[in-house]
Amino acid sequence: MSDIQPPQAFLQGNDIDLKPMTKEIFKKLHPWMNDHRSRRLARHVLPVLEETTASWIQEGKLTPSGVVMGIWTKSQHDSASKNIGFVSIFNIDWINRHGELGINIPNPLYWGQGYGQEAVKLMCQFSFTELNLEKVTAYTLEINIGSQKCMERNKFQKDGTLRNHQFVDGKYENMTVFSILRDQYTA
Ligand SMILES: CC(C)(COP(=O)(O)OP(=O)(O)OC[C@H]1O[C@@H](n2cnc3c(N)ncnc32)[C@H](O)[C@@H]1OP(=O)(O)O)[C@@H](O)C(=O)NCCC(=O)NCCS
């Protein structure tokens, strides 16, 4: 992934930056989208095709319904900075001012290093202080401990459980609904 010239950071964090997502960047990430370890948690039940991902990203532009940004590791030498996944706000309801957060770091090699937590934090900051949203929601499988911790560490609260909501690897699993309000974010 280091052969792509990394775009400028759009939002800067400590260990990661969020940068505009392009088709070219997605192309490099795409093979990991079909890795069973991550796709079962991200609920990609059908094979993810390159053209499908291209339509998700809309070249990083704010669309009427959402925005997606690439998660890039930091490096003192920018060329060694890597795109490891993406985080998005989608299904934005501009009248009632809420949106849904989605995140995917598809290569398990990068899990458990704090990148997910920080990406959620930066996306919440963007949603509340720039998009002027009132609430951000997130749906995670109950078995997805890493994802749930990302939300809890960022002050999301558990709104409820959708019982037997997803069929994963031969059995039904619960889905947890999380949300954070603007007041909780700033508290
Ligand atoms: C879910 C996901 C975004 C988490 O990102 P991450 O970078 O691994 O998360 P972090 O390293 O910030 O970890 C957050 C917490 O979860 C823990 N954690 C991470 N992965 C874990 C796992 N597989 N099992 C148990 N705990 C885990 C971390 O130890 C950390 O806990 P701590 O704060 O007590 O130290 C990432 O694993 C991923 O993209 N998975 C595949 C797709 C997916 O599940 N998307 C989310 C759909 S809702």
Mutate to test the pocket of ligand 1, among 107, 117, 165, 169 (most ligand atoms within 8 A of CB): 117
**Domain limits of the chain?**
11-137
Q: What's the pLDDT at 44?
A: 93
Mean pLDDT of the chain: 92
Residue 60 predicted with pLDDT over 60: no
Q: What's the pLDDT at 1?
A: 47
Residue 4 predicted with pLDDT over 90: no
CA of 63 to the centre of ligand 1 (A): 28
Residue 173 predicted with pLDDT over 80: yes
Residue 168 predicted with pLDDT over 70: yes
Q: What's the pLDDT at 62?
A: 59
In this prediction, residue 78 has a pLDDT band, given cuts at 50, 70 and 90, of: low
Task: Indicate whether residue 16 lines ligand 1 (CB < 6 A).
Answer: no
Q: What's the pLDDT at 186?
A: 85
Residue 68 predicted with pLDDT over 60: yes
- Residue of the CA atom closest to atom 12 of ligand 1: 114
- Give strand ranges (E) for 65-182: 67-73, 83-93, 98-104, 135-141, 157-168, 171-181
CA of 131 to the centre of ligand 1 (A): 26
Q: Which residues have CB under 8 Å from 147's CB, separation 6+?
A: 41, 103, 116, 138, 140, 141
Q: Is 165 exposed, middle or buried (0-12, 13-18, 19+ CB in 10 A)?
A: middle
Task: Indicate whether residue 180 lines ligand 1 (CB < 6 A).
Answer: no
Task: Indicate whether residue 42 lines ligand 1 (CB < 6 A).
Answer: yes
What architecture is the 11-137 domain classified under in CATH? 3-Layer(aba) Sandwich (3.40)
